[in-house]
Structure formats: structure tokens, C-alpha cells
Amino acid sequence: MSAFKRSYNRPILLLMITAMMWAGNSIAGKLAVGEVSPLVVVFLRWAIVSGLMLTFYGKKLIAHWKTIAPHIVGIALMAAFGFTGFNALFYIAAHDTSALNIGILQGSVPMLVALGALFVFGDRITFAQFIGILFTLGGVIAIASEGNLQRLVELEINPGDGLMIIACVFYAGYTLGLRSRPKVPALVFFTVTSSVAAIVSFPLVGYEMATETALWPTFEGWLIVLYIALFPSFIAQIFFMRGVELIGPARAGLFVNLIPIFGAVFAVVLLGETFRFYHAAGLSLVLGGIWISEHFAAKAPKASLP
């Protein structure tokens, strides 16, 4: 216990583990193909997580309900798109694209958040952020086109990559919605959103059952579902919130940029996927864009775009 307490007070360790768990989600999504259907994964994931959160934080949720209730519609939309929608598209995409592509494309979320903040809230984008967005966009294009721009001209994007890009848009919308979330403890808020995500995912399972495409977990499928529910969904959330508590959201957020790197390494080592030139180009552009945005934006606040 003393070793756990020491580790729980080390933000860098916690945030590194968090990024690894989130990167492992792309591997789990790929391994789930043929073992459990995508929408069953989503439903079981949030059912398990919400059950755990209600067990540990149900009483606190009741205590803060008066603060939460006026925001319940907004919270429901955030959970529906950011949790249920994002994960549904994420696991469906795994059927048509590689874990490498999924991991790298997740790196586009900061770019989408910056663009969303510009158009929705009127936030100004610094020149460095603009250059970073262009780099990141170039990385997304490199992955989606598999290094062949003619494919974009002919609209021959891999369906899985296309779904993953839409999923990232959903998660960016969820991130923007966090600005107006009720002022309650983070884990209480996560209890609400995970519970709503479980409820919203139930009709999706119904759709798979109605179309006879539902595949309930095999033994291996249950292991994958339990990994997804316990590690990327439950433990990683707690570790990330603890990291934010210890060093603040700005510094903690930087560790999210490690997800494409860990994801690429895991895909090659664990799944034996081939790391091609366009993966290297896409990963370099995405990470380079994020680095430019976050490193130079603070140093040149006056160089901004309208």
C-alpha cells in the first residue's frame, strides 16, 4: 500500500501509464474483431464502468444532484457523442483500418479542439497554433490517403479512417463541452457521463440484435472487454484526473500527445502491423504540429489570426 501511495503521488508516472492504457485501446479494438461486435463492446464497456463509478461515487452523485440536474441535457449530449458515439465509431473503424492508423489519427483531436474553440467560442488562434494545425492536418491527410494524394481527389478514403476522423470530431465536441460542465468533482461528473453513455449505448445493441449482427463475447472477447472497461475507461480516467490535480491541466494535457507514439509501437510489436513511410510521415506531422502549437504559442501570444 505504501508503494501504491508513493506512486499515486508521482504525476509523470501516472500520466505515462494513462497514455499507454489509452493507446492500448486501439490494440484492444483490433483484437476485438471476430470476438465481440463493436456495439456490444461499447455497451458492456460503459455498463461495467458506470456500475463501478456508481458503486464508489453514487452517494456523492446524489449529494451534488441539484448542481447537476440543470445541466443534464448538455451532459447527455456530451456523453452520447464523446463517449458512446466516439467509441462506437472507434470499434467499427477497427474492422476496416489498422491500429496504427487509429492511434495516429487520434492525434488530430487537439487540432479539432482548437478549431472548434475558434468557431464556437471565438477564441483567437496564434500563428504558431495555425502552423501546428496545418502540420496536423497534413498528418491526417497522409494517413487517410495512405501517402497517395490521388486517393483523396478520387474520394477513395479507407472507410475505417473516415469513421475514425468523425469519431475524433465527436470527442473534440465533448472536450469543448467541458467548458460549461457543472462545478462538481471530476469523478462525480464522470459517474454521470459514464452512466448516460451506458443508457445511450443500449439502443445500439438493440440495433445489432435486430439486424442479427450482434456478437456476444467469446472467452477472448470477455478478456478484451474487461481490459477496455477496467484500464482505458476506469483506471486511466482516475490516474489522469489525479495527474491534473497534481500538476494542472495544461501540463497533464501534454501527456495525451504520447498516445499516437505508444499506439504505433504497440501496433507494430503486438499486432505485427507494418510501419510504412506514410505512417512515419503522418506521425511526424501530427506530433510536430502539436509540439509547434504548444511550444511556441505561449512565447508568441501577439502573433494571432482573426
pLDDT digits (tens, 9 = 90+) for 163-181: 999 999 999 899 888 888 8
Closest CA to 259 of 68, 18, 19: 19
257 within 8 A of 287, measured Cβ to Cβ = yes
Which of 120-129, 272-281, 284-293 has the highest mean predicted lDDT (pLDDT)?
Answer: 272-281
Question: Taking 50 as the threshold, does the pLDDT of residue 292 lie above it?
Answer: yes
Q: Which three cell numbers stand for residue 96?
A: 476496416
> Which pLDDT score is estimated for 20?
92
- Decide which of 137 and 252 is more confident: 137
> Which pLDDT score is estimated for 71?
93
Band the pLDDT of 3: cuts 50, 70, 90: low
Band the pLDDT of 305: cuts 50, 70, 90: very low
Helix ranges restricted to H, the chain: 2-7, 11-31, 38-63, 65-68, 72-78, 86-93, 99-105, 109-116, 127-144, 149-153, 159-177, 186-210, 219-228, 236-247, 249-254, 259-271, 277-296
- Decide which of 50 and 141 is more confident: 50
Question: Taking 50 as the threshold, does the pLDDT of residue 17 lie above it?
Answer: yes
> Which pLDDT score is estimated for 103?
84
> Which pLDDT score is estimated for 155?
55
Average pLDDT of the residues in 103-115: 83
Closest CA to 92 of 156, 30, 168: 30
> Which pLDDT score is estimated for 105?
86
Q: Which three cell numbers stand for residue 60?
A: 456523492
CB neighbours of residue 150 within 10 Å: 8
Mean pLDDT, the chain, whole residue set: 85
SS3 at position 188: helix
> Which pLDDT score is estimated for 62?
95
Residue 33 CB burial class (10 angstroms; 0-12, 13-18, ≥19): middle
Q: d(Cα 228, Cα 220) in Å, to the nearest integer? A: 13
Band the pLDDT of 4: cuts 50, 70, 90: low
Q: d(Cα 139, Cα 282) in Å, to the nearest integer? A: 4
Band the pLDDT of 303: cuts 50, 70, 90: very low
Which of 176-190, 264-278, 285-299 has the least mean pLDDT? 285-299
73 within 8 A of 35, measured Cβ to Cβ = no
> Which pLDDT score is estimated for 5?
67
pLDDT tens for residues 18-75?
Answer: 989 998 999 999 999 999 999 999 999 999 999 999 999 999 999 999 999 999 999 9
Q: pTM of the predicted model, to two decimals?
A: 0.84
Which of 89-103, 125-139, 223-237, 257-271 has the least mean pLDDT? 125-139
Band the pLDDT of 120: cuts 50, 70, 90: confident
Q: β-pairing, 304-305 with 125-126?
A: antiparallel
Residue type, 72: I
Domain boundaries, the chain: 12-305
- Percentage of the residues of the chain whose pLDDT score is greater than 90: 45
